[in-house]
Every structure is written in structure tokens, then in C-alpha cells.
Chains A and B, each alone.
Chain A
Amino acid sequence: MTAGLYGAYGGRYVPETLVPALDALERGWESALADASFRAELDLLGERYVGRPTPLYETERFAPAGKRILLKREDLCHTGAHKINNALGQILLAARLGKGRIVAETGAGQHGVATATVCARFGLECVVYMGSEDMRRQHPNVERMRLLGAEVQAVEFGTKTLKEATSEAIRDWIANVETTYYLIGSCVGPHPYPSIVRELQAVIGREARRQVLETVARLPDAVVACVGGGSNAIGLFAGFLEDEEVEIVGVEAAGAASLSSGRPAVLHGARSSVLADEDGQVLDAHSISAGLDYPGVGPEHASLRDSGRARYVTATDQEALAAFHRLAETEGILPALEPAHALARALDLDADLILVGLSGRGDKDLAEVLGS
């Protein structure tokens, strides 16, 4: 297969049953991109419903002396994270494809909430698969999804987290492919999903680049974002990949470091860098943050790593917690635990002007933080 490749990664590793649906998705997406009214509708919803553009905020007290740290405030989006950018775009696509039922997977619950949100807004049936362990540690999001009218299906086997939830969402899609649209939450999965999600999240990076030039009159030395599946990161990075002097840094959870500790394997329809053993069996990931607790990663990130355009580092649970507390106490902002990993590494990065993607807010994480 040659379509959907990022270097040697990506592709489409799915049962034959799904191929016609993926072909239809690709055609629908290409048609949407070529349709000015699709982009106009998305931009208007972004402005009126999501709250775009989100601020680029320069921290006052968070950064160590001699350093400037700017935060791209995706936490201020409606629903509290960047996930809504992708959910909105894909729900418009689902409507164009005539689908009445939406399935999605969710880890921390933010993508589940974003999907339930857009399904309510557009009147579509919504089923979200979530690992039972994630349901326990991100319970406020479960409650939100249900209040928004979604059915939350607990996944009780395996690690009971995002990996199994993704498999179950895909199995549901296979079984209901005629009526159902699979609204994937990150830049993972079979082609064309990684490129759809990247394009929908690229609003983050394009805005941030415009904003940093307006307010600081120069490009940042480095752009830093957390990487689970990789959607907020690829969205932010997309604004700066062509700027060779800007360093691109992705931060994974130390216990879920698909890019730092993984190997090429095939998971959820794509070849990528996966935490897997030498036989290709996928291993369990471990992170305090549900959104980073995924043994795979988007294929484009694997390609960026290999080409050297981006580098990927890790942060531990403890470092993320410390960064959480520091941002809370110095700026009055409670970050989600996922971007707290990016904040941790931004603090010790050797650069003067650093732009960090604050991908979501931490309301969902209060119990985890207080219990740690």
C-alpha cells in the first residue's frame, strides 16, 4: 500500500470489511476539503461554539529566570481540551457521509466528551468505548458524557484502558459499518484518519504561529507538546515544521514512551512506533495520565522522529505532578495531567523562548492529583 504513508509508517492494516468504508471516508474528506463551505462552517463553529482563537498567554511567574514560556491555551476551548477541534470537523464529515450513529474510543474522556458534545449539537446517536480503569480515574468525564446523551460502554478486558477501548470501537465499526461513523480521537489508526486529525488540529499551530509573531515579533526557539496518540502535538507542530530554526519537542509519559522505547509494529490499523515485544505483541503502557496511557502513537510522529525534525523525550508521573502544582501556584491555571508532562520538560529545556501546548484543563484530574 502506498497511500497514507509517512516514511515507512502509517498505511491501512484492517480487515477487508473496513476497506470500502475507509475509501468512502477518504473520498468524503477530499470532497470536504475542496468545498469552501465546509471550511467556512467549521471556522464559524470554531469561533462561536468552541471559542477560537484560543489565547497565547505568556507566563509571568512559572518560567525559571532567563526563560520565557508561552502557553497555547487549548484548555480554554469549549469542553476543556483540544479534542473538540477534531470532533467538530469529523462530525461535519459524518453528516456529509450520511451516517446517523457515531462510535468513538476515549482514554482520559476528553475525546469522549468532545464527541458526545458534537453528537448532541448535531443530533446523532453516540456510543463511546472507555476502559473501566479509565472510567474509574476520570469519572467526571464519564458523568459528562452521559449528561450529554452518550452511551458509555465499559471495556473490561486487557489493560482496561485506551488500547482496548480503541479495539472495541473499531470492532463496533466493523459490525455496523453501513450506519456508523468511527470518530477517532487522535492522529492514529488506518489511513486516512491520521491525516484528517492532523489537518483538523493544525488550527492550533497556525494560530499559535500568527500569535507569537504578533505579540513577541519572533518565532519561538522551541515548541513543546505532550504526546499520547499525538493529536495536540501534531496540531501544534504543524504550524512550525517548515521553520527549520524552531526546535520541535514531543514529551511522552515515561511509562508509555512509544517513540523513545518502542519498535515498529502494527496496532489499530497503522504501522507505527509501538511499545511491543520482539514478537510484535503489544505491551502495557503505564501513566498517571489516562490520555498518555497508550502504547502506540501517530505514524507521522514516528516519521518526524526518524527524520530528526522532531525529538521525543519523556517525563515521569512525579515530574508531571510537580509541574501541575507549579503552574497552579504560580499562574493560577490547573493543567490537565497530560500537558503537565510538556510543562515539566519545558522547565529544563535549553532554550530561551518556549511555546508549550496546554492541551487541556485539569478539572478531570483533581482526584488523581489530590490522591497522589
Chain B
Amino acid sequence: MSGPEAPDLAAAAVSGGADIVELGFPFSDPLADGPVIRRAAERALAAGMRTRACLECLAATRDKVDVPLVPMTYSSLLEAYGWERFAVDARAAGASSLIVADLPVDARPDLERVQLVAPTSTDERIGLAAERTDGWLYLVTVAGTTGARAELSPALAPLVQRTRRLTDVPLYAGFGISTPEQAAAAADLADGVVVGSAALVAAENGAAALESFVAQLRSAIA
């Protein structure tokens, strides 16, 4: 989540072995997020992390790490900032791509972004998402919001199967992956794993704790 500590936390995650860092731009009413990310967003907004401050945070993070940086946010911020203007300014600040959690694949085809597909997605929509996605496809493992689950969702395997039949783009699985064991299981199926809420929780204990958590995930999926 964007904030004063984000650049250091991103650097710690990369030291721990992260290949890509998603940076949340907080929104007041995040429909796709469970309690951990929602609370992190509330704290960030209370600390003044409006769009411009988030772009500055992105630029500061860009100075610290070499991996791809992907802002993750909601349509309302782009609507207010200007859709094209946001895309341009985010790239200028160092974004490699963009995720907009409440923008379905058939909306705004001209906005380059990482597309998401879910276990409920039809083959047709998966095909369209694969065609339009910027770099990789985000496989949402559960019907649900972000947030830790006890076990890896059984919906992931069939989703990966269906998606692989339709496209060759890299598939990264996310939502509900919080332990090294779950990450390993997800990595057996997909090409990569995305860990959000669990990383935020680890980061509450500081950069070193985050680095160590990411390192555990890294060695589990190696």
C-alpha cells in the first residue's frame, strides 16, 4: 500500500526474492478487498495518500528497486484524474503496468493493464482477457475478496487448466495465498503467485519481517 514506508518495504520484498511489486493506490470503498487491505487503505488515506502522493511514492519506489512495479487501484481514481492522464503519469513515475480491480475486461480496451480472470469467468471472457492483458494474466483463485484463506482454493486448478487451453501468456495466481505451503501449491499449477494481504500483515512488523516472509515464499516455490 502506498505510504512513506512503501519504498523501503518494496526494497525489502525484492531482497527477499519478489519478482514484481504491486503498489496499492487506496480507494475509500474497495469492493474487491477484504479487511486487511481495506484497513491498510483506510490508514493510507488518513495519512493523506491521494493520487498525486501515490504517484510520488511510486517514483520513490522506482528509484529503489529494479523489478516491475504495478499500481493496483479502482476506477474512481482514474475517473477523477483522467484515464489517459493517469496511465501516462503512472508510466512516467515508473509503473510497468496497471491493475484496476473494478474494471472488467470489456471496458476501456485502450487502457493497457493486467487483466484479471476468476473461476466464474467464461472461456470467452478468459480468451478476451488473455488477448488484452498487458504482460501476464492475474488468476483470481477464489470467488471472493482479497484476504488469507486456510487452504489453497480448489478452484485454481480447473481455472489454470481452462486458461492454459486458451492462451500462452504467463499466469500468476493470487487472492487468498498467505503461507509458503499455499504458495508452493499455487506455483505448481501457475507460473507465479501474488501475495497481498499476508505480505501487508508481515510488513506491519517492519521491513526485515517482510523480507524474511518473502524469502520463505521464495524458497517454497523454488
Contact = CB atoms under 8 A, between A and B. Distances in A.
Interface of A: 1, 11-21, 157-158, 163, 167, 170-171, 174-178, 263-269, 271, 274, 276-282
Nearest to A177: B143
Contact of B125 (A19, A177, A268): A19
B102 A13 contact: yes
B29 A11 contact: no
Contact of A170 (B31, B38, B78): B31
Nearest to A171: B145
B118 A266 contact: no
A13 B75 contact: yes
B28 A13 contact: no
A279 B77 contact: yes
Residue among A171, A271, A279 with max Cβ neighbours from chain B (10 Å): A279
Given A171-B145, A266-B75, A1 B106 contact: yes
B80 A280 contact: yes
Contacts of B34: 171
B105 interface: yes
B76 interface: yes
B145 A174 contact: yes
A1 B109 CA distance: 9
B144 A266 contact: no
B81 A279 contact: yes
Nearest to A296: B29
Contacts of B32: 15, 174
Residue among B32, B125, B140 with max Cβ neighbours from chain A (10 Å): B32
Residue among B32, B76, B78 with max Cβ neighbours from chain A (10 Å): B76
B84 to A, nearest CB: 15
Given A20-B121, A167-B30, A280-B80, 18 more contacts: A14-B102, A15-B104, A16-B104, A16-B117, A16-B121, A19-B125, A20-B122, A20-B125, A174-B31, A175-B143, A175-B144, A264-B79, A265-B80, A266-B76, A271-B79, A276-B76, A277-B50, A281-B45
Given A13-B102, A15-B31, A280 B76 contact: yes
Interface residues on B, range: 35 or more
A125 B115 CA distance: 34
Given A17-B120, A279-B51, A279-B80, A12 B31 contact: no
A281 B77 CA distance: 7
Contacts of A280: 27, 51, 76-81
Interface string B142-177: 111100000000000000000000000000000000
A288 B117 CA distance: 42
Residue among A17, A21, A163 with max Cβ neighbours from chain B (10 Å): A17
Contacts of A163: 29
A266 B125 CA distance: 23
A94 B126 CA distance: 27
A282 B129 contact: no
Contacts of A11: 107
Contacts of A263: 80
Contact of A16 (B38, B51, B116): B116
Contact of B104 (A14, A174, A178): A14
B101 interface: yes
B41 to A, nearest CB: 10
B88 interface: no
Contacts of A266: 74-76, 79, 102
Contacts of A1: 104, 106-107
A177 B102 CA distance: 16
Contact of A20 (B51, B75, B120): B120
Given A16-B125, A20-B120, A267 B106 contact: no
A347 to B, nearest CB: 35
A276 B140 CA distance: 29
A-B interface, 5 closest residue pairs, ranked by CB to CB distance from nearest: A280-B80, A280-B76, A17-B118, A175-B144, A266-B76
A21 B120 CA distance: 8
A14 B32 CA distance: 8
B103 interface: yes
Interface string B12-52: 00000000000000011111101000100010010000110
Contacts of A178: 120, 143
23 contacts: A1-B106, A13-B102, A14-B102, A15-B104, A15-B118, A15-B140, A17-B143, A17-B144, A20-B120, A20-B121, A167-B31, A174-B31, A177-B143, A263-B80, A266-B102, A268-B29, A271-B75, A279-B50, A279-B77, A280-B76, A280-B77, A280-B80, A281-B50
